[in-house]
Structure 1
Amino acid sequence: MIKFLITITILTFLAGCSSQQQEILVKEYPVSGEMIDERELTDEEKAIEHFIDGSILESKGDYSSAILEFQDALRLDPGPGIHYALAKNYMMINKIPLAIQHSKKSLELAPDQVEYNELLADIFYTARQYDSSAAVLEKVIELDPMRINAYYKLARIYESSKPLKAIEIYNKLTDIIGAEWSVLIRVAELHENLGNLKEASEAIEELLKIDPSNNAIQKLLSEIYNRDGKTDEALKVLNDIIEFTPDDLEARERKAQILIQQENWEGAAEQYDYILE
């Protein structure tokens, strides 16, 4: 009998799996039209068939039909992977209580699965239960300290309620991935909002190392320097901008305003004369 192998990857489908890697389940299926051994499928095999059918429907965006297949699979083999699949699909159709129920059940059966924890955090976030989402994300990071997206998600949750904690998480993320634009700009903004101008300027200086010719960031740095009383440093940044782009009128106006603060009337007048020409 000629057969071919169909290899199907099922994320942690088997119950009791301790690994966070994908479980590979290899089943043999006969070529279409061939006779198959006449035997009763086990409940596990039937569950696998329903799970595969559900996964196909999920990939097509037919979440309601996928849920029906996963429910059939669950009745035959109530493993954590099927609860996880149900939770994911219930979230997609915005049935949050059922999503939370199945997500929590998957974690009762496999509490250390990172993917299961991350899904529960996402469901809580969708439900605007931000404290609960943050608590689960803390566990995700504890289980997998290299889970980069978990740091991003957790920091964004903390930005409004615990900005110092958010900065701490962003700094940990920087230690892992190095200086990154989207992280540094958030850190700079958080420090600025907190009035930590020195720390804000340090973050912006790191941004300029990534993109030294970015005029918008240079102007932001000059503004932070000026607010922190470092007018000479602010002028130096503006002079660098004007040297390379002499027609940048905004930079000249900012320079004039700082010169007025320093009571350098002649220097300020020179900048305004250029602007009005």
Structure 2
Amino acid sequence: MTTSRLKNLALGTLVLGSLVAFSSCDTNGSKGSETARLQIALTDDPGDYKEVWIDVKEIRFNMTEADDQNWAPLPGVQAGMYNLLDLVNDKDTVLADAQIPSGKLGQLRLVLGDNNYIITNRGEKLMLTTPSAQQSGLKLNIHQAVVGGIINKLTLDFDVAKSIVEAGNSGKYILKPVIRTVLTAVGGNIKGFVLPDSVQTAVLAIQGTDTIASTYTSAGGYSIRGIDAGTYSLHYIPVDTLFKKYVKDGVTVNLGQVTTIDTVRLQK
């Protein structure tokens, strides 16, 4: 979508959703620190099977160090069947995209259902038993901070070769998941203030001719969250056409950081 078209949309409507492209925006900068966006992705190291299917039912999270209390279901989990061998060579899939309290994420529990199985290279389907994950869930220790204003991406790296164990010579296989967790920051945040604060203003973050993200001011404040690191032009477009548009070039966004812009004063 071109810059000129988005400017016209900004002047003609107050519907933010039509302006946002792959971003998370917050019209009140003070709220950004209360919650953190947690995105959980699943990936895999190759194993000597044709297919490995796991039955994801739920993910629970704990913002404390206590093992026996304070657990809560993670919202937005994409429950279902996942073939881990579709997720090799740096591919992943998003299991959840949720808002949780910012702070230190203590632990997760990955809860699996009963329908876990492998397809061998000979085409045989062999069911997997998962005693621990079927009950309270497989506990994953995180013990890292999740930060407001950015996307916190937690990758669950499933090691198939170590996770599937043959039970003696019985021909039965047990799923004992070995998962490495990697928490990284994705994108950064821009926030600032526009005067007069009584004039609602569209704020667009633009690279070249592409509008990457946008929002509107609320009582003068604005925040654009979770955009890629890089350099942007910020275009300020007042809804009240008595005020002039304003452009601020060279705004740098750094990974996992908040870029605070000097107060913009609109002119007539």
TM-score of the superposition, structure 2-length normalised?
0.22
> Which has the larger share of helix?
1
Q: Higher relative CO (CA 8 A, sep ≥ 6), structure 1 or 2?
A: 2
Q: Which has the larger radius of gyration?
A: 1
TM-score calculated relative to the size of structure 1: 0.21
